[in-house]
Structure 1
């Protein structure tokens, strides 16, 4: 069976091209040949398709085989270049071979050409496979480096989250207490509201860090993306240089989707950051559009697994350099980047792709070299009634007269909880040592109606403390409050007998409501 090959023949005589083609057919090839005879035609042909072999005469009108070799090597150095010519001087033959030609076949010896081509095609295939193996090895090494880096970031993030959430517990706790009893219309109360709002934003930021480093579980639930989009845009305005103009076209009439708040924030930040880099930090326009639209089966022809219906549509456009077809095919690959070393991990668009398709959405990209790019992200709409909207507790907080033991190795946090709960009527005892807390409880186990303990403490953790206490009094409600723990899960806590897990920072209302819930869900002895 004849072997099909594509041949670019640099030759000014059509008859010679026919002779070469005849020799190739006789040698077992089925050649698809294209003849060019000028430098311009050669450059154009090299851009139009992938060639298996280049055969070139030496003497050509206006240029020669050495010139042709130089042009070919500039754009496609991997394609074997063979000189097929009449008699040339020995010095010329040596020079053209030295410059990179694979072989030299004289036109009166064309029977030599098929085996030469066969050899060079085999050699090219071997080199291609070696290059592929080397490229794959480099890619795997880079992935390993990135994995180690992410592991280190995750460990660091966990430590930062614990300490930072402890600080936020103090800030939010004392702000809540300072605000208590003040008229809502007073300037002081309004100022404290801003402190609480900033504290909540900081809490969400810690969640984003933990989710990004995979140290926090990812949950998908109904949510309204509009406020998250607006918040992310504020963040980008503060992050990008003033030379970048940001244009917004945000519709207020958008519905809920199934997603994770951190993920929605990350999608917009990553797409905007990618757009900024595409504009090379110079003047440019970044346009963000967000609206709802109805997509038909025809609109989803490229997404057969997606059902027609209403979608929220996020579009991020830039006026950058655009993306060529070769790069477009790889933009969502992990660790693929066109940036310089140290300027990007190549994970931004890959993460966006994973988030979007993991949430049953899809992405479309429009781009043309020299004309910028637009990334379109679509998420299917769900019923608004299902959206989880954070409620602010209104009215007086529930209190009680029960006796509560608080255990936290941070004195300032124990003090915040003690003052907060004392104002709600509880009788509170604090202890900053888990070992002393156990001694206190063993001495008088009936003196307490509920225990609130931190998780991360020296010597004995909160989970271990809860286990010891519940062996003494299995009926006792226990709440574990933690700034961050990658070890304790809700399932593990339930197995121990813990009633609730609270993530720091804890607001006054959350603490009060959780305590009453622990009492109400626990049968009286």
Structure 2
């Protein structure tokens, strides 16, 4: 059996039942029940008390309705507040739990608080009950708000990660499409024009026409070279042959363009990887080498690629000027941030180790399990 008692009508309040604080009071002493109700009334706390005096009635009350706060004595006939706490803590969104009891010892009170009970008040200090209840409710609401904020933040981060993955996938698809168009349309047309100009040069007499044809051929060679470089930057055809040939070509091209010695160490047991993973590793290596050529002032670069213990790891190390913490936090420094976001699209992560004057090391780590194909 349990009893509902409202304490706000005598105070002149006209709050609806939803506006009152619903309290489950677990107490076997009628006198202590009355004292608690009077204390809450004096504190002008509109509430609806449901009073029970057994563990069975407590469980029934908890199943019958939701309470804003649990107020319980410690020692009760046949059970204790710890038994009540076991019932309360199983609730999905359990309310704050305030212990209102006689002296149980300081060590016992500390142990109870460690279990997660909100507050503890001695019965001879019952005048402070309204303040304790309000504080417990405020703390509980603050925790709920923080929990909701964390859930919303996690959901927002998930949506952002999904959007980032979609954008990277769309960009790579668009790059591949543009690269094919350059190769099939522009490249094919330029090659045909080259053959025609070569024929004109061979069949023209000595003089201005042959010289113009030769000049046009040189310009055309430049255009063909530019189109090939653009295709390689957009989507190198060698990437279709696999990750290892693509990284090898990237290192060779970097060394040829910059004159900086670059060494590639490969310790991979498998030769084929998921396409999404290949793109992430390739773009990370590409961006890292671009940063080395622009800023590092390095004399040598080392790339290490391995798939040890179900993790694919790419490490790009240089002996250049290094990065300071301020360099990494520049507002417009999106290179490393973009690589980190790209790594997250395949459940990977990026680590940067660098000190001014001691070079830099960029490490990409990707789990080889559950990678999208």
The TM-score, its normalising length taken from structure 1, stands at: 0.30
Larger Rg over CA atoms: 2
Larger helix proportion, structure 1 or 2?
2
TM-score, with structure 2 as normaliser? 0.41
